[in-house]
Structure 1
């Protein structure tokens, strides 16, 4: 019989690898890249919270990590809004690096 803690750890690793696979395969749009990065961050947060609960230490580090992940998501969304307003869409192929 499989231990539930091992099942949760394997599911969090599966989340991280699925996010990495989607980041590598579906990088045509900026929104897809941002969503896959956030999915990886949630998998890492879940793994970290499981490990911290097993050890019995403080959970403040996981809350700090969740705060940084939320700030990273807000920064990514602001970049997405800026690129859509300046270029008209979020396709990476439509960006010209020679423009200011």
Structure 2
């Protein structure tokens, strides 16, 4: 039982750190950044659900977290569509902060 717990915690930390690594290394496109952020959120959700399930406490907090993660994903997707329609691509180098 202890090995499974260590494996799940290690797997979730590996998901989080690989999300951070991909966020830092593939930051040229907005879509890559959003996907790595979603991967980090899923790693945190997995860690949260395993720890809450192991403690035997209420699981409703993890469902609330999953709801917020879905809303964050929908907001990121809408921003991606808005940027792609306005600029024509999702490259960060084409963004200009001086434009309205």
TM class by shorter chain equals: over 0.9
- Aligned-partner Cα distance in 2 for 1:96–1:68: 29
The 5 A counterparts of 1:51-90 are: 51-90=51-90
State the 4+ residue runs in structure 1 displaced beyond 3 angstroms: none
TM-score by length of 2: 0.97
- What is the aligned partner in structure 2 of residue 98 from structure 1? 98
CA shift at 1:8, angstroms?
0.7
Please report the TM-score for the alignment, with normalisation by the length of structure 1: 0.97
CA distance in 2, matches of 1:62, 1:98: 40
Pairing 1:1-100 to 2, within 5 Å after superposition: 3-100=3-100
What CA deviation, in whole Å up to 9, does each residue of 1:27-85 have, x standing for no partner?
00000000000000000000000000110000000000000000000000000000000
In the aligned structure 2, how far is the partner of 1:3 from the partner of 1:89? 46
- Report the number of matched residues: 99
- Unpaired runs of 5+ in structure 2? none
Structure 1 residues without counterparts, runs of 5 or longer: none
